[in-house]
């Protein structure tokens, strides 16, 4: 499991605009980081407070889940700079919030509040000030107490990779996850993952 958060009171305020005047592709680093997050085989959670703008929104969207603190602000701002947002990032955003909200964010480059981000589907949960770290820690404990096999397969399938159905069925048959899950349910106890991560 991976939790992504910012240093201090801001998740990520975006790129240094002065760096956009050079010859380098301004999106290359953000896209590389975004794709690495999306490809991470275990669950990823963005814990957002403060500003989550530009490349910060790309990173948050690449995570599996997004939790934010009240007062957080979100924006996808390439239209303010005349930058073409990468196709992969646009598809990921549209998949997350739907085409209408993706267009709203990309066309306007406006910042939206956390309540609007929750309503749009960008956030999974919105927490009162001071509660973000506690809730993320609590939720990560829940995820680590669940089948890692189920999570890995679900992540691939939800992200559109459906060509490995047989692979994951074989993994499930070879693991002890199903037997443990059924036994825990019948015995009315918590599911105990294998020490190896199941």
- Counted residue by residue, the chain has a size of 198
Q: Is residue 37 in a domain?
A: yes
Residues 100 and 83 in one domain: yes
Q: In the predicted model, what is the mean pLDDT of residues 26-34?
A: 80
pTM for this one?
0.89
Nearest to 124 by CA among 44, 178, 58: 44
Helix (H, G, I), strand (E, B) or coil at 149: helix
Closest CA to 156 of 164, 148, 167: 164
pLDDT band at 13; cut points 50, 70, 90: confident
* Alpha helix (H) residue ranges in 71-147: 87-97, 99-108, 114-120, 132-144
Residue 42 belongs to some domain of the structure: yes
Judge if 168 and 79 occupy the same domain: no
Residue 47 belongs to a domain: yes
Same domain, 70 and 85: yes
Same domain for 109 and 177? Answer: no
Number of domains in the chain: 2
Distance CA 56, CA 13 (A): 6
Is there a contact between 68 and 48 (Cβ–Cβ < 8 Å)? yes
Please choose, from the candidates 68, 66, 80, 113, the residue with its C-alpha nearest in 3D space to the C-alpha of residue 14: 80
Q: Are residues 48 and 121 in the same domain?
A: yes
State residue 11 phi and psi, 5-degree precision.
Answer: -65, -60
- Per-residue model confidence (pLDDT) at position 29: 76
9 and 106: one domain?
yes
Give 55-112 pLDDT, tens digit per residue. Answer: 899 999 999 999 999 999 999 999 998 889 999 999 999 999 999 999 999 999 999 9
Q: How far apart are CA 172 and CA 150, in angstroms?
A: 8
- pLDDT at res. 2: 97
The CA angle 38-117-32, to the nearest 5 degrees, is: 25
Same domain, 128 and 173: no
Do residues 154 and 103 share a domain? no
CB atoms within 10 A of CB 26: 18
**Does 87 reside within a domain?**
yes
User: Which residues make Cβ contacts (< 8 Å) with residue 145, sequence separation at least 6?
Assistant: 190, 191, 193
Question: Do 82 and 179 fall into the same domain?
Answer: no
Residues 170 and 121 in one domain: no
Residue 196 lies in a domain: no
CATH number at residue 125: 3.90.226.10
Retrieve residue 169's tokens: 């069925």
Question: Using CA atoms, how far apart are residues 112 and 61, in angstroms rounded to an integer?
Answer: 15
Q: Could you tell me if residue 191 is inside a domain?
A: no
* Residue 104 sits in the same domain as residue 158: no
- Domain that includes residue 112, residue range: 2-141
Whether 129 and 165 share a structural domain: no
């Amino acid at each position: 499991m991976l939790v992504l958060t910012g240093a201090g009171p801001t998740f990520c305020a975006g790129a240094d605009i002065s760096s956009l005047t050079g010859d380098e592709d301004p999106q290359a680093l953000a896209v590389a980081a975004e794709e690495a997050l999306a490809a991470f085989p275990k669950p990823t959670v963005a814990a957002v407070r403060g500003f989550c703008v530009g490349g910060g929104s790309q990173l948050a969207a690449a995570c599996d889940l997004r939790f934010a603190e009240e007062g957080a602000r979100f924006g996808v701002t390439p239209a303010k700079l005349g930058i073409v947002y990468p196709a992969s990032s646009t598809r990921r955003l549209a998949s997350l919030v739907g085409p209408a909200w993706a267009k709203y964010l990309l066309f306007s480059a406006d910042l939206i509040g956390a309540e609007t981000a929750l309503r749009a589907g960008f956030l999974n949960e919105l927490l009162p000030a001071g509660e973000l770290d506690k809730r993320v820690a609590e939720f990560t404990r829940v995820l680590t107490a669940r089948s890692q096999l189920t999570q890995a397969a679900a992540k691939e399938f939800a992200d559109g990779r459906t060509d490995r159905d047989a692979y994951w069925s074989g993994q499930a048959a070879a693991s002890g996850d199903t037997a443990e899950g059924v036994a825990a349910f019948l015995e009315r106890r918590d599911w105990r993952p294998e020490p190896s991560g199941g």
